[in-house]
Amino acid sequence: MPEFENFNLKTTIDCKQGAVRAVRYNVDGTYCLSCGSDKKIKLWNPVSGILLKTYGGHADEVTDAAGSCDSSYIVSASLDKSIIYWDVSTGAPVRRLRSHAGGVRCVCFNEDSSVAISGGRDNAVMCWDIRTRRLDPVQVMKEARDCITTVATNENRIYAASLDGCVRTYDIRVGELTCDKVGEPITYLAQTRDEQCLVAGCQDSVVRLLDCETGGLLSEYKGHCGDDYHIECGILANDAHIVTGSSNGDAFVYDLLETKVLQRIRISDNGGVVHSLATHPKRQEMLFARRRDMYVFSTDLQIEEEQL
Amino acid sequence: MDEEEHLHRFGTPLQPLDKDVVPAKKPVSIEDQVVKDENGKRRFHGAFTGGFSAGFWNTVGSLEGWTPQTFKSSRAEKATPRVQLKPEDFMDNEDLGEFGIAPQGIRTRDEFAKEDEQEQRSGQRRRKLMQPELGVGPIPGVPVLEQLLRPVRDKVAVRILKSMGWKPGQGVGPRQTRKEKRQATARNTREQYLLDHYGVEELPAQKETNGEDSNAEDEDDEDITFAPDDYEPIFYAPKENRFGMSYSGLSRDPVLSKSASSTAKPMQHINLFGQLEEQAKSKQLSIRGQAFGVGAFEEEDEDIYARDDMTRYDFSLADKKPKQKKQQHVQQRHVIDGFSEDKSGAALQKPYAIDLPRDFQARNWLQRRSRFAPMDKERAKKLETATEYKRSGLGRHDLNPDQRAQLLGEQKQEETPVEEQPKRNPFKDRGKSLLERINARTEGFTKAPSTSSSGAFKPFLADEAKQLRYEKFVDSKLTNDTEITELLASMQPVTLSLWDREMEKKEFIQAAKIYRPLVGLMNDRFISEGNVEAEKVKEQEKTPEERKIVMERTKSMWKPTSLLCKRYNIAEPFGGAMLEPEKELKTKPKISVFDYLETSINTKANFQTPSIIPKHIEKPKPKVVEPPALPAPSPPVANEPEKPPTKEEPSKFTFVPKTPLEQAVDESRDKPISEKVDLFKSIFDDSDEEETVEEPPENPAQDKLAALQEALGLPSASTSSAAAHNVLRNTSPPRGIFAALFKPTEEPAPKEPAPPKFAPIEGNKLKISYKSREERLRNDKELAMAEVPPEDIYGPKLPGAFPQKPAASEDRAEASIDAKLQQLWQQHAPKKRKAEKWVEKKSISSSEDSDNSSSDDSSFSDSSGGKAKKSKKSHKSSSSKKSKKSKLKSKKKSKKSDRSKHKSKKKKSKH
């Protein structure tokens, strides 16, 4: 177990795209994406804070985005009920996928970025074939009884967290749907790196660690304030710390095992909900979104300096 | 060599040209060219080759030489008058050909020929003036369609004229004497002359056929009358313009337009039939022809067919329309501006008063009656009363607020405090107070006291008695179906039909389901917010420890699509053989409106007529089952005790253990005929007894006959079995043509059995078809002789005296069999001819079949029951032929006794 080091603010980026709805790292964490309420997606260098590209084409607020494994494409979800598959370099929308009956809340790629999975307010999880030019989903899963807040996938499973308080695991290999009922509306879901556990941020201001195999509740992390916000949570690259946003301008870092608060990151004294965050896939680095800004937090200063 | 061997040659090779000889390509000179006809002989010859060939090489002979015609006439064979020879008979083939002197071509028949052709042929002149003016149509010349379409028949007027003795070419009118005719001709010529000189159009000069041929000679011959000459009636065109005579100006119409209006309609119909309608009066500027532009020094336009019209010319620089408007606006006297005076002068018709019946109600019968049309009052009233409950609803909205409040358990709001409340901000206050009140009443709403349905909901308001019954029904809270039925039966009026009762029961059950107040159908679908809130509060009151999250895990089948598996690089679970559970999931959550209505009375099941068989009404069931003529053959009095079984007898054969009679038959099957006497006796005993009055003992005869049949080797068994097995088979005796068709082949009946009084035993009666023709004829005769009132006889009337001859001729085919029969007959029964009666084999077999009747064997001797028995048998063997047979039977029996007559009468009355 490595020693915990406090996170320090590295960069603050004013995204200038209205309220930032989501911040995401790309596959290796060298770039980051911010989804704005001005219907645009912006690609940044999180270290330097340089705007690399703006992707405009959505008709409503962008709620989520994900980069492909080769970082050449972006898929984004929007409240305009569509998913857009972007070409990173040209900034042009390659494909617009429309089948959701409601605004799309979340989107993700599978490992080799051949399938995009989206979940929306229409309670449906849809799998899109990216390889072909098919414009209708490969598969639609409509088991959820409420809005899908997060979709996640690994080699053989698709996870879908819903506001109906369930985490649904679609096991492609087994052909089985496992529904783990938490009971509280789940606002966000993150996978641990070892794919053994799920971190579920719940509506009742509790982050819960769920066991994938048994469906058991491993631990609960309390301390932050969720209120009624859609607050995201995450797990750091070392699989030892859990991080979550808070409604009062803070972010909390919990110890995975001891469930105690390791660090309360004071992002802003002015309040504001820290609703979106992203953890670096490799390093101890995090992105937070609060209001119009994106914050980059990191533990080791040296590396950053070296990079600079 | 090798190459030549491999070559294939087709056809005959040309003669190799000699290299020395230059091919002569000299053209054939004109002198050498000879015109030849199709036979290859020279067509022209003679000095200047001007003559042409005729006949056989210009002779009257033929290839065989010349043979003079022969004429032969004798007293026996008179020479037929010679056929009139036509010139064509003497012509060669080429003369009749296309280029011959009498070409034979296809041409239209006179009826269809063009008029001028017809004229040419008939030499008649057609009236030119009557024809429509040429060239007025869009296409110059004779109207196109008129050329194409020709009436086949004359016009009606012409036909009438012809029938009155008129011939084409004659004039119309009373016959004239020579003198009169001459005068008329002179007048006609004068008129014609005038027309020629001053008429509108140039006229073809009329040919005067018969003028003054023989005027002087027969002047005084007044007796001879002639048809008047045909003359052209002259049509005077009124002159409406101020142009010179017979000048018509340029047409103002565009070329393709026939309308008189200056503005041509775009898609106007082109009148191909010429100008049938009167040409509209020409406007002031109607100028026609090449009037403009040809000056004294100008050349005449080359294009003489050009048709100029006024549309090509502009007459003013300004627009025309305002001018026209101005003209229209000229105020007329006594006429409102914008209207114009009626110039037609149609006199107002005087209205006549009609005496209407007092109760007359005006109605436009032509008007289509629709459901939207207002109803007449009485009907409307009636309907209104009938459907009042619909209008007034089901009683749900009949409550006033007080009643509703009472139902909900509200306290009555005092009026005064409301007024006392400050009026500064009434909306806010009211809103607040309302909200508070509602909140206070939440519990009341959610847990409303379940009032008895009878008080509030009256689904059967229209029918008070029914409503009362319904209330009682609801109060009883019965669930058992039979109990409900009993309860309702106790309340329902006697007059209510069973079907209505059933329906009412269903309605009540339905209504009780639907109108459950608050605990009703919808209640389990919705949750009141109050309940939810209460739960929330409870939950919040709990300590965090209390509401510990309990993880639940449920697993279910889920089939990933094959493409998804491919993309994930995963083999499909179970090799893709998973069932598709998606559809179940899809259909389940869907909530349909019809789910709620499934209990409705309007389902298909409810519309099935309840199967109630009323007990008190006895249905005439057997009538339906039986063919209508069934009970006919049995005498009503005698059969009284045995009738019911007859009726209920199934039409199908049922195999019942063999009766003694049957056994006897079986036993005797292999016995020689002589030994079978007993059997036959047992079978036909009853009839003997019955008919002893009229008939001599016939048993020996039967015996003989049976023996005879046996000797003939008739296939009795096979026929009977066929009848037995094939129930549907029509075993009725062949009738009409079929009688003639089937009889000879099937039944070689004895020719001279001649039982003088034909009294068929019952068994025999059924097999009428197998009777020989003669016998039948005889029967008919007897029938005719018998004094039967005509109303007792059915079927077509029989001829009085039936000719015997045709029967004999028809039976010629069976002559050989007959001869054989005769022989046999003489052998067996030469003495007892008269008393004999023949029995068919079939009757025996039928007795075998009639197993059902065996139980009544003893009653065979019964004089009254015998017939019934036989009729029964007949039912078995052929139920379908009953009616017919009964008729026949009745005919035969009619002569016998009063009883039988009576029977037949009865039968008739039954029909």
Asked if B174 and B105 sit in the same domain, the reply is no
Domain range for residue B188? 154-211+220-237
Asked if B776 and B830 sit in the same domain, the reply is yes
Cβ(B399)–Cβ(B407) below 8 Å: yes
Task: Tell whether A125 is within 8 A of chain B (Cβ).
Answer: no
Q: How far apart are CA A29 and CA A47, in angstroms?
A: 10
Question: Chain A: residue nearest B544 by CA?
Answer: A204
Could you say which residues from 186 to 215 on chain A have a Cβ atom under 8 Å away from some Cβ of chain B?
208, 210, 214-215
Q: Give residue ranges of B with CB < 8 Å to any A CB.
A: 549-561, 563-565, 567-574, 578, 585-586
The residues, any chain, with a CB within 8 Å of residue B858's CB and separated by 6 or more, are none
pLDDT at B187: 85
Task: Map out the domains of chain A as residue ranges.
Answer: 21-235
Q: To which H or E segment does residue B421 belong?
A: none
Asked if B852 and B744 sit in the same domain, the reply is yes
Which segments in chain B show pLDDT lower than 70? 1-4, 19, 21-24, 43-55, 110-142, 150, 198-222, 232-236, 251-309, 312, 318-334, 343-350, 364-375, 389-398, 411-458, 515-527, 539-548, 579-818, 824, 827-911
Asked if B113 and B204 sit in the same domain, the reply is no
CA distance between the termini of chain B: 109
pLDDT at B654: 45
Q: Which residue has the higher pLDDT, A206 or B898?
A: A206
Residue B564 placed within a domain: no
pLDDT in tens, B67-84: 777 888 888 888 877 777
Residue B670 placed within a domain: yes
Q: How far apart are CA A79 and CA A60, in angstroms?
A: 5
Residue B763 placed within a domain: yes
Asked if B191 and B106 sit in the same domain, the reply is no
Q: How far apart are CA B589 and CA B582, in angstroms?
A: 12
**Cβ-Cβ contacts under 8 Å, A210 against chain B:** 551
Q: How far apart are CA B736 and CA B807, in angstroms?
A: 14
Considering only CB atoms, B551 lies closest to which of A110, A138, A216, namely A216
Q: What is the 3-state secondary structure (H, E, C) of B483-551?
A: HHHHHHHHHCCCCCCHHHHHHHHHHHHHHHHHCCCCCCCCHHHCCCHHHHHHHHHHHHHCCCCCCCCCC
- Are B560 and A177 a contacting pair at CB < 8 A? no
* Average pLDDT across chain B, whole number: 62
Query: What CATH architecture applies to the domain A21-235?
Result: 7 Propeller (2.130)
Neighbouring C-alpha atoms within 13 Å toward the C-beta of B520: 16
Torsion angles phi and psi, residue B142, rounded to 5: -70, 135
Helix B865-877 and helix B841-849, axial crossing angle in degrees, nearest 10: 90
Residue B719 placed within a domain: yes
Q: To which H or E segment does residue A128 belong?
A: strand A125-129
pLDDT at B320: 54
Neighbouring C-alpha atoms within 13 Å toward the C-beta of A271: 0
CA distance between the termini of chain A: 29
pLDDT at B29: 83
How many residues are present in chain A? 308
**Closest of A94, A170, A115 to residue B563, by C-alpha:** A115
Which amino acid belongs to residue A278? A
Asked if B102 and B169 sit in the same domain, the reply is no
- Are A179 and B568 a contacting pair at CB < 8 A? no
Q: State the DSSP string of B590-601.
A: ---HHHHGGGST
Residue B798 placed within a domain: yes
Q: How far apart are CA B232 and CA B189, in angstroms?
A: 10
Strands A73-78 and A82-87: antiparallel
Residue B571 placed within a domain: no
Question: Is residue B582 classed as helix, strand or coil in its secondary structure?
Answer: helix
Residue B337 is encoded by which pair of tokens?
């501006």
Q: How far apart are CA B519 and CA B453, in angstroms?
A: 11
Task: Tell whether A171 is within 8 A of chain B (Cβ).
Answer: yes
Q: How far apart are CA B643 and CA A8, in angstroms?
A: 116
pLDDT at B41: 72
Q: How far apart are CA B887 and CA B630, in angstroms?
A: 11
**Cβ-Cβ contacts under 8 Å, B578 against chain A:** 175
Q: How far apart are CA B485 and CA B655, in angstroms?
A: 44
Residue A164 is encoded by which pair of tokens?
């109906």
pLDDT at B903: 46
**Cβ-Cβ contacts under 8 Å, A115 against chain B:** 564, 567-568
Q: How far apart are CA B30 and CA B461, in angstroms?
A: 121
Residue A305 distance to chain B (closest CA, Å): 39
Asked if B108 and B184 sit in the same domain, the reply is no
Torsion angles phi and psi, residue B302, rounded to 5: -65, -40
Asked if B100 and B167 sit in the same domain, the reply is no
Residue B882 is encoded by which pair of tokens?
């009953």
pLDDT at B795: 57
Q: What is the 3-state secondary structure (H, E, C) of B663-712?
A: HHHHHHCCCCHHHHHHHHHHHHHHHHHHHCCCCCCCHHHHHHHHHHHHHH
- Are A175 and B578 a contacting pair at CB < 8 A? yes
**Closest of A235, A238, A228 to residue A254, by C-alpha:** A235
Residue A89 is encoded by which pair of tokens?
């370099």
- B509, exposed or middle or buried, with CB in 10 Å at 0-12, 13-18, 19+? middle
pLDDT in tens, A91-120: 999 999 999 999 999 999 998 899 999 999
Q: To which H or E segment does residue A287 belong?
A: strand A285-290
pLDDT in tens, A42-65: 999 988 889 999 999 999 999 999
Residue B539 distance to chain A (closest CA, Å): 13
Considering only CB atoms, A172 lies closest to which of B554, B556, B560, namely B560
Asked if B805 and B678 sit in the same domain, the reply is yes
Residue B505 distance to chain A (closest CA, Å): 42
* Rounded (5°) CA angle B139-B145-B146: 105
Asked if B781 and B876 sit in the same domain, the reply is yes
Residue B469 placed within a domain: no
Asked if B793 and B857 sit in the same domain, the reply is yes
Query: Residue-wise over B614-642: b if at least 16 C-beta within 10 A, else e?
Result: eeeeeeeeeeeebeebbbbbbbeebbeeb
- Are B553 and A112 a contacting pair at CB < 8 A? no
pLDDT at A128: 93
Residue A123 is encoded by which pair of tokens?
């309670």
* Average pLDDT across chain A, whole number: 89
**Cβ-Cβ contacts under 8 Å, A142 against chain B:** 585-586
Q: Helices in B357-494 by DSSP H: which ranges?
A: 377-386, 388-391, 401-408, 415-420, 426-446, 453-456, 464-476, 481-491
Asked if B718 and B852 sit in the same domain, the reply is yes
B104-109: long-range contacts (C-beta < 8 A, 24 or more apart)?
none
Torsion angles phi and psi, residue B613, rounded to 5: -110, 105
Cβ(A229)–Cβ(A273) below 8 Å: yes
Residue B537 placed within a domain: no
Confidence category of residue A189, pLDDT binned at 50, 70, 90? very high
Paired residues of A67 in beta bridges: A74
Which amino acid belongs to residue B3? E
Find tokens 């072909």 and name the residue.
A132
pLDDT at B141: 67
Note the ipTM here: 0.89
Residue A51 distance to chain B (closest CA, Å): 33
Q: State the DSSP string of B262-282.
A: SSPPTTPPP-TT---SPPPPP
Question: Chain A: residue nearest B570 by CA?
Answer: A173
- B535, exposed or middle or buried, with CB in 10 Å at 0-12, 13-18, 19+? exposed
- Name which of B545, B555, B568 to mutate to probe chain A: the one with the most chain A Cβ atoms within 10 A of its Cβ: B568
Paired residues of A75 in beta bridges: A66, A85
- Are B585 and A115 a contacting pair at CB < 8 A? no
pLDDT at B208: 42
Q: State the DSSP string of B592-628.
A: -HHHHGGGSTTSTGGGSPP----SSSPP-HHHHHS-T
pLDDT in tens, A128-152: 999 888 888 999 998 888 999 999 9
pLDDT at B566: 87
pLDDT in tens, B275-305: 444 444 444 444 445 455 556 666 655 565 6
pLDDT at B644: 43
Residue B596 distance to chain A (closest CA, Å): 22
- Cα dihedral sign, B743-B748-B754-B756: negative
Q: To which H or E segment does residue A249 belong?
A: none
How many domains are there within chain B?
A: 3
Task: Tell whether A114 is within 8 A of chain B (Cβ).
Answer: yes
Task: Tell whether A146 is within 8 A of chain B (Cβ).
Answer: no
Q: What is the 3-state secondary structure (H, E, C) of B339-372?
A: CCCCCCCCCCCCCCCCCCCCCCCCCCCCCCCCCC
Q: How far apart are CA B567 and CA B573, in angstroms?
A: 14
